[in-house]
Amino acid sequence: MYIFRWNLKKISLWALLLSQVCLLLIFFYVQLIPSEQESNGRISFLRSSEDTEEVRNTYHTLDSNIILKTVKTRQSYVDFNSSLCFINGTDLSSMKYAKGINWRCQCLPGWHGNDCGQPEVLWRALLTSRKPFKIRGPRTFERRLIYIFKVDKFSEFVTDIRIYELGAIVDLFILYEDDTSDYLRQKLDNNFCKEHQNKILYLKDDGETVWKKVRWYLKNLRNDDIILSSSANEIPNKDALIFLKFHDHWPQPIKFRFRWSVFGFFWIHPFRTITGGGACTMSFLKESFSNKLKLLTDNKTLSSPLYKGLTLGDLNHYGGWFCEYCNDPAQVVEFIASKPKNIIDWDKIEHGKIDKNYIEDLIENGLYIDGKSELKKSRRYQDNYFAPKYVIEHDWKYDFLMVNFYSKLDYYEG
């Protein structure tokens, strides 16, 4: 009886071991057999979960199925008694300290409104306009924001800044390049702005029909979604765009008065500002501009009596940054050479030639491209609008735009 029990136990152990071996063999056999779709001579690889995420995190083309997400605004606000306060614009520390007696939102410097949701640049624009706008908010759901602009090899650095500065609030970047160029596509294929490629739609276009091409591919556009467009050198104010996403009844169209930086954020053009870009809702673009995006960025638009628009920005509080010739000197020379000759007043240039040494001298001495107009100095630690927030927080990445390396004084100060 004892021997029988011992043999039964031994047999059971051997059977269990044999079954495990069989399961392992079956598993490896199934993994090695190619599927019908992969049996055409191509090699297939097993991907880990990290590899799968890597593949998914890529830019879109017109073949993509793009569906814009719907996000509640509530996550950007906090309740204090009966007050609903915008988190980014509210002094949360002081309000939490006096929570029992605090019935109104206490705004941080540069923020206004009952909910502390109006950034300085927008608040000042509303005061200046002296028009009875009845802006309401916050909305239940954010407006989706679509940003369209052209990219070429001369605007790479500003494009990088725009996408990283606005990546958290823009729902879709539509980037296009000339039909004859392949520069942007190659950059994207090499992980340009990798962290935000899932929000980038790439296409080639002449600029005239880009929106006409795209709007049919966006599956769930809403009339209250925002369309934003600007030139290659413009970086809109992030806080102002957040306000437009969260509120209703703001005047349309929106234009931007940009701070005019030259060669980097350390020099300002003597005119100091330049007006450009444009934003409006989808319904406004359709009803007022017949879906012609070019009319939105035409500076004559806001001056027309037909529209009760608003310009964001003044001489002290800017609607964003216009960074002209923000490249290394060699690229500035190449950029100018690629443009028509009438872009420069050659009579104002002493030797009649623009080369790398000429550009370096301009940067060092604070002179505009004509070699005559004096630029104004801007200092990082004294100017609240020196550069976009992302640039300041990542100065190692954009050091040549932050510090004038051709000036010994600036170099050692930086």
pLDDT for the residue 63: 86
Residue 361 lies in a domain: yes
Q: Does 343 or 73 have the greater pLDDT score? A: 73
CA 189 and chain centroid, separation: 19
Q: How far apart are CA 397 and CA 412, in angstroms?
A: 18
Q: Is residue 219 part of a domain?
A: yes
Note the pLDDT tens digit of each residue in 13-49: 666 667 766 665 655 554 444 433 333 333 333 333 3
359: pLDDT strictly greater than 50? yes
Residue 220 forms part of a structural domain: yes
Q: Are residues 376 and 263 in the same domain?
A: no
Same domain for 309 and 341, yes or no, is no
Q: For residue 174, tell me if it sits in a domain.
A: yes
Query: What local confidence, expressed as pLDDT, does residue 383 receive?
Result: 92
- Read off the pLDDT band of 215 (50, 70, 90): confident
Q: Do 306 and 173 sit in the same domain of this protein?
A: yes
Q: Are residues 246 and 368 in the same domain?
A: no
Which value, in Å, is the radius of gyration of the alpha carbons in the chain?
A: 28
Q: Is residue 138 part of a domain?
A: no
Do 209 and 267 lie in one domain? The reply is yes
- Using CA of residue 225, residue 226, residue 232, residue 234, what is the dihedral sign? negative
* CA-closest candidate to residue 308, choices 125, 147, 145: 125
Please state at what angle helix 120-129 crosses helix 238-246, rounded to 10 degrees.
Answer: 70
User: Which pLDDT tens digit goes with each residue over 241-300?
Assistant: 999 999 999 999 999 999 999 999 999 999 999 999 999 999 999 999 999 999 999 888
Residue 76, C-beta contacts closer than 8 angstroms, at least 6 positions apart? 86, 87, 88, 138, 246
CATH number for the domain spanning 305: value is: 3.90.550
Q: What is the mean pLDDT of residues 184-191?
A: 93
Report yes or no: 282 and 181 within 8 Å, Cβ to Cβ: no
Q: Name the least confident of 17-31, 145-159, 165-179, 251-265.
A: 17-31
Average pLDDT over residues 164-184: 94
Mean pLDDT along residues 122-130: 88
Is the residue at 354 inside a domain? yes
Residues 167, 109 within the same domain? no
Angle formed at CA 212 by CA 323 and CA 275, multiple of 5 degrees: 25
**Residue 5 domain-assigned (yes or no):** no
Lowest mean pLDDT among 47-56, 120-129, 217-226, 336-345: 47-56
Is the same domain home to 260 and 155?
Answer: yes
Provide the number of structural domains found in the chain: 3
- Record the pTM: 0.82
CA 356 to chain CA centroid, nearest Å: 30
Query: 213 with 102, same domain?
Result: no
pLDDT at site 349: 59
- Do residue 204 and residue 149 come from a single domain? yes
Mean residue pLDDT across the chain = 83
| Sequence-separated (6 or more) residues with CB below 8 Å from residue 338 | 154
CA distances to 73, 178, 239, 241, 404 from 165, rounded to whole Å, are 20, 25, 11, 12, 22
Between 12-21, 162-171, 371-380, the lowest mean confidence (pLDDT) is in 12-21
Which residue did the predictor score with more confidence, 214 or 48? Answer: 214
- Residue 307 DSSP symbol: -
Q: 130 in a domain, yes or no?
A: no
Verify that 247 and 166 share a domain, yes or no.
yes
My answer on whether 251 and 167 are in the same domain is: yes
How far is Cα 80 from Cα 98, in angstroms, rounded to an integer?
10
Range of the domain at 192: 145-324
Looking at 260, 292, 324, which one is the last position of a domain? Answer: 324
Highest mean pLDDT among 20-29, 122-131, 171-180: 171-180
Q: At what angle do helices 156-166 and 238-246 cross, to 10 degrees?
A: 40
Rounded alpha-carbon distances, angstroms, from residue 157 to 47, 87, 269, 295, 391: 33, 30, 19, 27, 11
- Among 272, 293, 324, the domain boundary falls at 324
Give the pLDDT mean for 348-372: 83
